[in-house]
């Protein structure tokens, strides 16, 4: 059928997107970790965290418990590796920065998706970039066993 609204669909590129995370404090469960190549900028690759909100502790305007959210890290930025390492440290309590390796990160974004189901804390807040734009900072931390025990009692 020539000329339909779907003409050319075979060659269309799918763009990644997600529901971004509003400022607040959360407990989340990892759904998937992966990488995604930009369909708009050649050579740009993102580290992607897809997570489900388990609890909203503070803030979270517009977010809902049970909602899936996305954190993207543009791996072409200077801060990218440090941001990804900070996230990786939250996955296993007691791990040190020296313990995080390239091979481990490659494993985390593999098809096996070994981090799926892990729970972490997330604190997000807004800051200004050097250029004066808005930027959401994401601070990830482990949920300690005592945190799990406390939420089970409430």
What domains does the chain contain, in order, with CATH numbers?
17-153 (2.40.50)
Q: What is the mean pLDDT of residues 8-19?
A: 60
Q: What is the mean pLDDT of residues 4-9?
A: 61
CB 106 within 8 A of CB 90: no
Read off the DSSP letter of residue 58. Answer: E
Q: Which residues pair with 121 in a beta bridge?
A: 27, 141
Which of 17-21, 129-133, 139-143, 147-151 has the largest mean confidence? 139-143
Residue of higher predicted confidence among 140 and 13: 140
Read off the DSSP letter of residue 63. Answer: -
Residues contacting residue 34 through CB under 8 Å, at least 6 positions apart: 48, 50, 109, 113
Mean pLDDT, rounded, of the chain: 86
Q: What is the mean pLDDT of residues 20-36?
A: 95
pLDDT in tens, 66-98: 999 999 999 999 999 999 999 999 998 898 998
What Å distances lie between residue 84 and 34, 67, 90, 138, CA to CA?
A: 12, 22, 10, 10
pLDDT at 52 over 90: yes
Ranges 3-12, 13-22, 47-56, 103-112: which has the least confidence:
3-12
The Cα 62–Cα 102 span in angstroms is 35
At residue 144 the predicted structure's pLDDT band, cuts being 50, 70 and 90, is confident
CB 140 within 8 A of CB 90: yes
Q: How many residues would you count in the chain?
A: 154
Ranges 13-22, 67-76, 117-126, 145-154: which has the least confidence:
145-154
């Amino acid at each position: 059928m020539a000329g339909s609204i779907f003409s050319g669909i075979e060659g269309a590129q799918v763009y990644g997107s997600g529901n971004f995370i509003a400022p607040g404090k959360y407990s989340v469960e990892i759904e998937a970790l992966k990488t995604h190549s930009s369909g708009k900028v050649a050579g740009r690759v993102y580290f992607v965290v897809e997570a489900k909100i388990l609890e909203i502790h503070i803030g979270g305007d517009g977010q809902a418990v049970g909602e899936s959210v996305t954190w993207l890290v543009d791996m072409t930025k200077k801060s990218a590796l440090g941001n990804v390492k900070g996230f990786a440290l939250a996955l296993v309590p007691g791990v040190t920065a020296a313990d995080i390796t390239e091979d481990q990160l490659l494993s985390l974004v593999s098809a096996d998706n070994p981090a799926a189901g892990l729970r972490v804390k997330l604190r997000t807040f807004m800051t200004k970039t050097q250029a004066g734009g808005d930027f959401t900072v994401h601070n990830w931390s482990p949920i300690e066993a005592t945190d799990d025990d406390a939420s089970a009692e409430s």
